[in-house]
Amino acid sequence: MSVRETMTAAYITRPGPADEIRIGRLPVPEPGPSEVLVKVRALAVNHVDTFVRSGAYRTPLPYPFVIGRDLVGTVATAAPGFAPGDPVWCDSLGFDGRQGAFSEYAAVPADRLYHLPRGVDPENAVASLHTAATAYLGLFREAGLRIGETVVVTGAGGGVGSATVQLAAAYGARVIATARPDDFDWCRRCGADEVVDYHDPDMYPKIAELAPNGVNVFWDNAGHYHLERTVPLLALGGRMIIAAGLGATPALPVGELYTRDASLRGFAISNATVAELTAAATAINHLLARGALVSRIGTRLPLTEAARSHRLQEGAEPHSPRGRIVVLP
């Protein structure tokens, strides 16, 4: 592929609101010796994409910066381990100096590119990558989840929440989900054993009743952190996953935490090493190949509507649909 060829891309030239996203022609990237040129088939939008675009989450960006992190595509030119036409995916573009995904072609570092199992739907896959990799790191690297433990997932109707329910249930944990009543069926289909309405003023006593031996892992996806209510729910050695709520400053009931030998485990997937992402990818491919990792897709948009995809993700347009947003080049 010649560097003179151009492609459609969604990019920014400085951080800012979604209206900063431009649609234009950029050169098709020339893959370096350790990169693979990928023809993009499907893209997903996640909260982190909007944080990087706006500058809320600071990271070095090469301008013009192609937005986005996750893609599913096919190998465009042969590279070691990759043949033209191979279905592939990546969930770690667009951060720490790497160009993003929202374009017709992307040059992907070979060690961040994984084969997509044959027959897997690219749209379901792309909608599941970021959320499931986050769920994997939180449940297994951070919480050290064990079979039979009780996991509480709040915001279980959302992307990370529903992926966390699916991974925890597939691993053999007992899962208590919180969600709005509209999402109860979805949470149960994901594998939740119990579902509690997060609007219910008695939500915490209900969780305590459902987990009489305490909660081993508590993951708050809404980022509100009512720690005075949730830390006392933890079992001895309980782990609370902190992965949402960029600006949250909750009060911590210290005695309730340390007398349980409990811990708060904060993490951001953006800091994960290549080896950790590869381990997550192995789990994701295992589940995708068995039809055991499913996302609800609420909206499909063309690449030319990338700015709208970010506005929808930010809830900035009326009637923002629930379910994941997939963008198609």
Ligand X SMILES: NC(=O)c1ccc[n+]([C@@H]2O[C@H](COP(=O)([O-])OP(=O)(O)OC[C@H]3O[C@@H](n4cnc5c(N)ncnc54)[C@H](OP(=O)(O)O)[C@@H]3O)[C@@H](O)[C@H]2O)c1
Binding site for ligand X (CB under 6 A): 46-47, 130-131, 134, 154-155, 157-161, 178, 180, 198, 221-224, 243-244, 267-269, 322
Q: What are the backbone dihedrals phi and psi of residue 107, each rounded to the nearest 5 degrees, phi first? A: -95, 110
Please state, in angstroms and as integers, the Cα–Cα distance from residue 273 to each residue in 42, 135, 141, 152, 321, following that order. 24, 15, 12, 27, 33
Counting other chains too, the contacts that 226-232 makes at CB distance below 8 Å and 24 or more residues apart are: 226/250, 227/251, 227/252, 227/253, 228/253, 228/256, 229/204, 230/204, 231/256, 231/257, 231/260, 231/262, 232/256
Of 99 and 128, the one with the shorter C-beta distance to ligand X is 128
Could you identify the residue written with the tokens 């900063």?
20
Of 38 and 244, the one with the shorter C-beta distance to ligand X is 244
Q: In angstroms, give the least distance from the CB of 329 to ligand X.
A: 22
Of 26 and 230, the one with the shorter C-beta distance to ligand X is 230
**What's the distance, Cα to Cα, between the start and end of the chain in Å?**
19
Of 182 and 251, the one with the shorter C-beta distance to ligand X is 182
Residue number of the CB closest to ligand X reads: 158
Of 134 and 150, the one with the shorter C-beta distance to ligand X is 134
| Number of other CB atoms surrounding residue 172 within 10 Å | 11
Q: In angstroms, give the least distance from the CB of 158 to ligand X.
A: 2
Q: In angstroms, give the least distance from the CB of 260 to ligand X.
A: 23
Q: In angstroms, give the least distance from the CB of 90 to ligand X.
A: 16
Q: In angstroms, give the least distance from the CB of 198 to ligand X.
A: 4
Query: What is the distance between the alpha carbons of residues 100 and 98, in angstroms, rounded to a whole number?
Result: 6
Of 82 and 186, the one with the shorter C-beta distance to ligand X is 186
Please state, in angstroms and as integers, the Cα–Cα distance from residue 149 to each residue in 172, 240, 286, following that order. 8, 13, 22
Query: What is the distance between the alpha carbons of residues 52 and 50, in angstroms, rounded to a whole number?
Result: 5
Of 141 and 180, the one with the shorter C-beta distance to ligand X is 180
Q: What is the CA radius of gyration of the chain?
A: 20
Query: What is the distance between the alpha carbons of residues 8 and 304, in angstroms, rounded to a whole number?
Result: 8
Could you identify the residue written with the tokens 């893609």?
71
Q: In angstroms, give the least distance from the CB of 14 to ligand X.
A: 22
| Number of other CB atoms surrounding residue 84 within 10 Å | 12
Of 107 and 126, the one with the shorter C-beta distance to ligand X is 126
Q: In angstroms, give the least distance from the CB of 169 to ligand X.
A: 17
Q: In angstroms, give the least distance from the CB of 234 to ligand X.
A: 18
Distance of alpha carbon 52 from its chain centroid, rounded? Answer: 14
Pairing of strands 6-12, 22-27: antiparallel
